[in-house]
Amino acid sequence: MKFTTEIRDQIAIITSHVEKLDALHAPELKGELVRVSKEGTKYMVLDLTESRYCDSSGLSAVLIGNRQCRDAEGHFVLTGLQPSVEKLVQISQLDKVLTIVPTASEGFDLLVMEITESELNASDND
């Protein structure tokens, strides 16, 4: 499998197993992100630790995941950026749009805290 998804505590952790996130693999990633979103998951972590290269079609797939979560009032976190991928994200100024943390476990923890905080705020408003 090129992409695997694990859902824990309302959070989908999607892991890329492709070295190049390019026009060949981006459509499959887009499909996975949309599928997970349609199943009702609005919090996602995308782990690109194994992806050493990314082109504009790969970035487009990442942005689809971000938009899916935002539209569902959730949150999208990008993790595991390798130096060349990180450089592309910075050049395209997506580091100002996306939440990026070093590891998938940090991304998961960030989302758990966010979910807990929103649940506490909701109960305070009741």
The model's pLDDT over 73-118, given as tens digits with 9 standing for 90+, comes to 999 999 999 999 999 999 999 999 999 999 999 999 999 999 999 9
The whole-number pLDDT of residue 124 equals 81
Q: Which pLDDT score is estimated for 89?
A: 96
**DSSP 8-state code for residue 115:** H
How many separate domains does the chain show?
1
Tell me, what's the pLDDT at 125? Answer: 76
CA distance 95 to 126: 36
Structural domain of 68? 3-124
Instruction: Evaluate whether 88 touches 54 at the Cβ level (below 8 Å).
Output: yes
Other residues' Cβ atoms within 10 Å of the Cβ of residue 84: 12
Tens digit of each residue's pLDDT (9 = 90 or more) over 57-77 = 999 999 999 999 999 999 999
Q: What is the CATH number of the domain that holds 37?
A: 3.30.750.24
Please, are residues 104 and 49 in contact by the beta-carbon 8 Å criterion?
Answer: yes
Using DSSP bridges, classify how beta strands 53-54 and 20-21 pair: parallel, antiparallel or unpaired. parallel
Residue with tokens 């979560």: 69
Report the predicted TM-score, pTM, of the whole model to 2 decimal places. 0.95
Q: Give the integer Cα–Cα distance in Å for 98 and 89.
A: 9
Q: What is the pLDDT at residue 122?
A: 85
